[in-house]
Amino acid sequence: MRRALELAATPGVPLGPNPRVGCVLLARDGRVVAEGYHRGAGTPHAEVEALAAAGSAARGTTALVTLEPCNHTGRTGPCAEALIEAGVARVVFAQSDPNPTAQGGAARLRAAGLTVESGLLAEESRVLNRIWSRAMELGRPFVTWKFAATLDGRSAAGDGTSRWISSPEARRDTHRLRADADAILVGTGTVIDDDPALTVRDAQDRPLPRQLLRVVMGERDIPAGRRVLDDSAETLHLRTHDPREVLAALWARDARHLFLEGGPTVAAAFLRAGLVDEVVCYLAPMLLGSGRAAVADLGIDTIADARHLEVTDISILEAPDSAPNIRLTLSPEPPATKEQ
- The residue from 47, 49, 68, 169 that is catalytic is 47
Residue 326 to residue 283: CA distance in whole angstroms: 5
Residue 23 to residue 44: CA distance in whole angstroms: 12
* C-alpha dihedral sign at 195, 196, 197, 203: positive
Of 89, 82, 93, the closest CA to residue 113 belongs to 89
Residue 134 to residue 138: CA distance in whole angstroms: 6
* C-alpha dihedral sign at 144, 145, 148, 150: negative
**Ordered alpha helix ranges (H), 143-242:** 168-178, 188-194
Which amino acid is located at 296 in the chain?
A
Of 64, 57, 72, the closest CA to residue 117 belongs to 64
- Kindly provide the residue ranges of all beta strands, DSSP E only, lying in 189-301, ordered along the sequence: 213-217, 235-238, 257-260, 278-284, 292-293
In residues, how long is the chain? 340
Instruction: Identify whether 47 is a catalytic site residue.
Output: yes
Residue 249 to residue 267: CA distance in whole angstroms: 18
* Residues carrying an active site annotation: 47
